[in-house]
Amino acid sequence: MRPSAIALCGLLALPVCSQSVLAAQDAPAAPQVTSEARALITRLDTFYKSLDQVTFESSLTFSAQFEGMTDLEEMSQSSAIAVGRPNLLRYQPAQNSGGIDAACNGSELTFAIATFKAYSVSKAPKTFQAVVEGAFSNEPIEPDAPGIELTQDPSLLIALSLFSDRPGLQMLQGVEKVSLDGEEKFNGSEAYKLTLMTTVDPTSNVQLNPIANATLWVAKGSQPWLLGIKPDFAATEPDMDLPEILLSYSKWKTGAPPEGYSIAIPEDWKKVDDVVAYAMSATAEELKGLDMPETTPGKAPSHPSENAAAPNFTLPTLDGTEEVTLSSLKGKVVVLDFWATWCAPCVAGLPTVDEVTKRFKDQGVVFYAIDVREKPERVSKFMKNKGWDFTVLMDSDGTAGKAFDVGGIPHSVVIDREGIIRHVHIGFGGKEALQEQLEEELTALTAMNGTDEK
């Protein structure tokens, strides 16, 4: 099954988004760097610190084998980027890609999406340092941080890190070992090959650097431009079947972009408060009516947590007036849905989950939507605007998401009366498919143990 454009967007953002649900912990020790690797990183660091403005092109390519296909499917997105210190930016995704166009002229940060003929303008951050540090350190990015939208393209995020206070060292945050493994050509250019290695503890709550395990290519010669990065997800997420991703950089030039750091907004475009939220809301409406005939209820790939005891948690409700402990719900069939306000597939699917579970309420079914790493004020406002009244639990530090092995959202879990995880669903395959699948599962689980009289 080929992913839709929306699914593609989610996959391309995976190195950042897949880690966003994890909890933070104390900063790790400095990496072990071989002398040869240290010399190259120092050169790269010094070189990028000397640059004031640059223009370049980025390409993000991923290869994956989808269900029912024998060959690898390759997809890519490319962008033209210009960056200047301390807070200048021009980011242009390839034409007709449907991506977010961004510009920061030093005083205003503008985002525009041609697909929706909409844009928004906000005060520019003084620098992009906070966003970069949040993505590469063990501290999570605040959902309301200025420029948070820029993290959705990892190739741009890494490029911004080169204009941080510590260009070369920023990318090594949390990495255990770095070595220089010879020379080879990368996209036709002579390059040095760096290997980043980090031991992954599956029981730890640490938020990993998205390139904690990766190969980097740096240009030889007097200008050590960053040419490419290939994350090793097999080492970072050994239990997940993730695509291979390659980030490439080319056509590096010093100086400002000819068109400057602004976006030419057509007169008929709509100005909104938050263009990303506006686009997500519109996309969620489209997804509600999405028909995916290839989706077969009950045939989704199994998740490692299925048939295992559900990990216990105690989480506060959105209004903070009470706490819910999962173990206290034994004897009921529990449906959990991990989500966030910025996730369009989550927003599209939640009303259906709420609707179906309400029909099974008298048979002992309870439903909790678990918001991941967002502020209560943001979620409360969102719920009010949507007119939703289901119970939301706040997983503010991501520990519950980590315990349930949530790597991407939406991630829903169906737990039987004995506290065993029976079904896990990741993503949104359309309202009809979700409704049919959930009804089938709840009918079986409630009939198996009779009605709940508590």
Locate all alpha helices (DSSP H) within 316-454, ordered by sequence: 344-359, 376-386, 399-403, 431-449
**pLDDT of res. 64:** 63
The least confident of 55-69, 82-96, 168-182, 366-380 is 55-69
**pLDDT of res. 62:** 76
Q: Is pLDDT of 16 > 70?
A: no
Sort residue 154 into left (φ over 0), alpha (ψ -120 to 50) or beta: alpha
CA dihedral (118, 121, 126, 131) in degrees, to 10, reads: -30
How far apart CA 83 and CA 56 sit, in angstroms, is 9
The DSSP line for 310-350 is: PPP-EEEBTTSS-EEEGGGGTTSEEEEEEE-TT-HHHHHHH
pLDDT band at 334 (very low <50, low <70, confident <90, very high): very high
Residues of the chain above pLDDT 90, percent: 47
Q: Cβ distance 11 to 76 under 8 Å?
A: no
**pLDDT of res. 4:** 27
How far apart CA 215 and CA 237 sit, in angstroms, is 16
Break the chain down into helix, strand, coil percent, rounded to 5.
30, 30, 40
What are the pLDDT digits (tens) for 278-321?
A: 777 777 666 655 444 443 333 444 578 888 999 999 999 999 99
What are the pLDDT digits (tens) for 167-216?
A: 776 677 778 899 999 999 999 999 999 999 988 765 554 555 667 889 99
Q: How far is CA 405 from CA 227, 237, 336, 387, 399, in A?
A: 33, 10, 13, 30, 10
The highest-level CATH class for domain 5-278 is: mainly beta
What are the pLDDT digits (tens) for 25-67?
A: 344 566 789 999 999 999 999 999 999 999 999 998 877 654 4
The least confident of 231-235, 382-386, 431-435 is 231-235
CATH superfamily of 302-449: Glutaredoxin (3.40.30.10)
Q: Is pLDDT of 20 > 80?
A: no
CA dihedral (177, 11, 225, 35) in degrees, to 10, reads: 0
Q: Is pLDDT of 428 > 90?
A: no
**pLDDT of res. 305:** 84
How far apart CA 35 and CA 356 sit, in angstroms, is 60
**pLDDT of res. 146:** 56
Q: Cβ distance 124 to 104 under 8 Å?
A: yes
**pLDDT of res. 429:** 75
Q: Which two tokens stand for residue 320?
A: 């903070």
**pLDDT of res. 228:** 96
Q: Is pLDDT of 100 > 70?
A: yes
Q: Which two tokens stand for residue 303?
A: 């998740």
Domain boundaries, the chain: 5-278, 302-449
How far apart CA 262 and CA 259 sit, in angstroms, is 8
Largest alpha-carbon pair distance within the chain? 75
Peptide bond into 410 cis (omega under 30): yes
Q: Is pLDDT of 10 > 70?
A: no
What are the pLDDT digits (tens) for 249-280?
A: 999 999 999 999 999 999 999 999 888 777 77
**pLDDT of res. 29:** 60
Comparing 9 with 395, the larger pLDDT belongs to: 395
Give the number of other Cβ atoms within 10 Å of residue 238's Cβ: 10
